[in-house]
């Protein structure tokens, strides 16, 4: 049983209830740019990717850099307009993160957000210095490339088998697999657990507090008593 030292979290849809606003902002951006709206399911399916990669995934037929940049800029503007009141943390997140810190875990964020956007929301919550390290898609490779996880591991001086990635998209889980680390799938974000389970996560949860209970249970178990967890 790995003794996890480092817990790495996606942001949107994992810690913060922001998926609805992301979908609506992308729909509005499409209207501004004069391109067809994609379905809600399609937009939810690209959440977690770096924004430029996400747009090109939604609109593969667009080969005009200016049109893609128009959508990117419009999305950012529309999302900020919807975020006049910041998206709330999911129930149990704040208390669980505090408990993890007290138990000695290192905490990190690996997100598809840009640095400017993450800085804004962390500042709003008074969390600018809360995490040991945060990595954003515009300063490293987009998920599911494992580069941002490698950078986090190097900063925290932790081996992959001692780290756990927690996320709500297949991009998060595949990134963890590519980095050689375990992952937890959360079913209250961008993608359903039925899809996330195909990536063979170590654990699948429907409420954030389940992660805390699972980790507490592992800490209390003796190695001889451990059995395989059901993902």
Can you tell me the mean pLDDT for 30-51? 95
Mean pLDDT of 135-146: 95
More confident residue, 108 or 229: 108
With bands split at pLDDT 50, 70 and 90, how would you rate the model's confidence at 63? confident
- At 66 the pLDDT is 86
In terms of residues, how long is the chain?
231
Give the separation between CA 215 and CA 176, rounded to whole angstroms: 18
pLDDT mean over 156-181: 97
pLDDT value at 144 more than 80? yes
pTM of the model: 0.91
Active site residues: 10, 12
Peptide bond before 84: cis, by omega within 30 degrees of 0?
Answer: no
Q: Is the dihedral of CA 175, 110, 83, 186 positive or negative?
A: positive
Percent of the chain residues topping a pLDDT of 70 = 95
């Amino acid at each position: 049983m790995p003794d996890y030292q480092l817990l790495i979290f996606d942001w949107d849809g994992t810690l913060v209830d922001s998926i609805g606003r992301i979908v609506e902002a992308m729909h509005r951006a499409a209207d501004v740019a004069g391109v067809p709206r994609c379905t809600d399911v399609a937009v939810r399916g690209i959440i977690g990717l770096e924004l430029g990669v996400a747009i090109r995934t939604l609109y593969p037929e667009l080969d005009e850099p200016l049109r893609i940049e128009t959508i990117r800029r419009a999305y950012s503007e529309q999302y900020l307009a919807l975020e006049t009141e910041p998206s709330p943390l999911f129930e149990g997140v704040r208390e669980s993160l505090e408990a993890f810190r007290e138990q000695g875990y290192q905490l990190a964020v690996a997100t598809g957000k840009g640095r400017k956007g993450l800085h804004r929301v962390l500042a709003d919550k008074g969390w600018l210095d809360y995490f040991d390290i945060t990595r954003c898609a515009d300063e490293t490779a987009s998920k599911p490339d494992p580069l941002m996880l490698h950078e986090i591991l190097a900063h925290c001086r932790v081996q992959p088998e001692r780290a756990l990635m927690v996320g709500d998209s297949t991009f998060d889980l595949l990134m963890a697999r590519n980095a050689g680390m375990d992952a937890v799938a959360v079913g209250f974000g961008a993608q359903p657990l039925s899809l996330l389970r195909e990536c063979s996560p170590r654990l699948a949860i429907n409420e954030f507090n389940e992660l805390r209970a699972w980790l507490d249970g592992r800490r209390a178990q003796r190695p001889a008593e451990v059995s395989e967890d059901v993902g």
